[in-house]
Amino acid sequence: MLIDDTIYGYAVARVKAMETQLLDQSQFERMINSSTTEEAVKVLSETGYSASVAELDDVYNFETILADELSYVFNTVYKISPVPELIGMLALRYDIHNLKVLFKSKFLGVKSDLLIPVGSLDIAKLEYAVGEDNYLLLPEKLRRAANSINEDFMINLDPQIIDLILDRVLYEQLIDAAREYDAPFLEGLFVRQIDLNNLKTLIRVKRMGLSRDFLARVLLPNGTLSVDRLTSMFEEPLESLISMLAISDYAELVSEGVREGLEKGSASTLEKLSDDFITSYLKEGKWVPFGVEPLVGYLWAKEIEIKNIRIVLVGKINRLPAESIRERIRDVYI
């Protein structure tokens, strides 16, 4: 069936205009080179963030600006998208994030991260559900995931299960939804994210010295690197594991990111390279005149921008040298 793709005209043009407000490399460079946190925040006040920066009473509360911006951007793109369900799919990640934070604070008694008001489920509703162990208000798949987290934690007392179960249910839903809405570009995005996630899992499991069976249980299905392929690599020594991964689509991440992860156990290079990998995939759809691609790209660009601002400001607050901040900054989408 030929669908009229020009329904995307309005949203794509609007997003293109919004893209001009994204921070570019030189603005990040100015932030990195500023001598104090206040000065770095001042750079932000000359950008699209000016209104929220003006209301900021203390630079250490910059997270509120970022959360507000993210939820504003998601809401706007959701409203202008001719097929809002596709944007809702991307917001699902935040529902899952919020559930993870709530479960961890319930089981471990620590608040590991901020709740982000972007997902389709109201935060108060999620807090109530997890706090009272009453998941009736959640969608069916999340309800089942929440119940199995509770059961599993009672038996094994292992908080890792929270991430494993929730990531699994997230990517299952994303892949199903992308297929249901016939969105191959989004499916390509999710498949890549699954692969990158699995690579990180492989490294973590290897570093922790856990078994191959455990790995097979925690890898996510539906990636291009199949679970069988990854588990068969698992017991290889470092060098041959790296050369096996070097012939996959993820070769560019392997030589630096995967090696550093396996040798030093530090994931930060791999995290950066993974984000850059997704950015370069989304850039392929940047100039599609009628389609969901530029909308997805813009939302990702905004997520990366917010991540970069956080990296710079946290670096400034902790007085990190400019060089070590610079090497963690993600490539920008524009």
Partner 1 sequence: MEGIEIAMLGVALAVGLAGSGSAIGIGIVGQSACGLISEDPDKFGQTLLLQALPGTQGIYGLLAGFLIMQDIGIVGEELVELTTWQGYAYLMAALPIAIAGLSSGIYQGRVLASSINLIAKRPEEMGKGIVYAVMVETYAVFALLATILMLFGIAV
Where do contacts with partner 1 occur on this chain (CB under 8 A)? 6-7, 9-20, 80, 287, 289-290, 294
Cα–Cα distances in Å, from 181 out to 76, 89, 272?
21, 10, 30
Measured CA to CA, the distance from residue 145 to residue 64 in angstroms comes to: 29
Q: Which is nearer to partner 1, 250 or 300 (CB)?
A: 300
Cβ-based nearer residue to partner 1, 16 or 106 = 16
CB closer to partner 1 out of 139 and 291: 291
In this structure, what DSSP letter does residue 257 have?
Answer: I
CB of 288 to partner 1, least distance (A): 9
Q: Of the two residues 14 and 207, which places its CB atom closer to partner 1 in the complex?
A: 14
Distance CA 194, CA 198 (A): 6
Q: Which residue is associated with the tokens 């706090």?
A: 131
Q: Return the amino acid letter for 43.
A: V
Of 9 and 265, nearer to partner 1 (C-beta) is 9
Give least dist CB 189 to partner 1, A: 21
DSSP-assigned letters across all residues of 121-149: S-HHHHHHHHHHT--TTS-HHHHHHHHHH
Please, which residues have CB within 8 angstroms of residue 81's CB and are 6 or more apart in sequence? 11, 87, 292, 295
Shortest Å, Cβ 20 to partner 1: 6
CB of residue 223 vs partner 1: minimum separation in angstroms? 33
Residue 168 CA to residue 174 CA, distance in Å, equals 10
Q: What minimum distance in Å lies between the beta carbon of 290 and partner 1?
A: 7
Task: Tell me whether residue 221 or residue 289 sits nearer to partner 1 (CB atom).
Answer: 289
Cβ 333 to partner 1 shortest distance, Å? 12
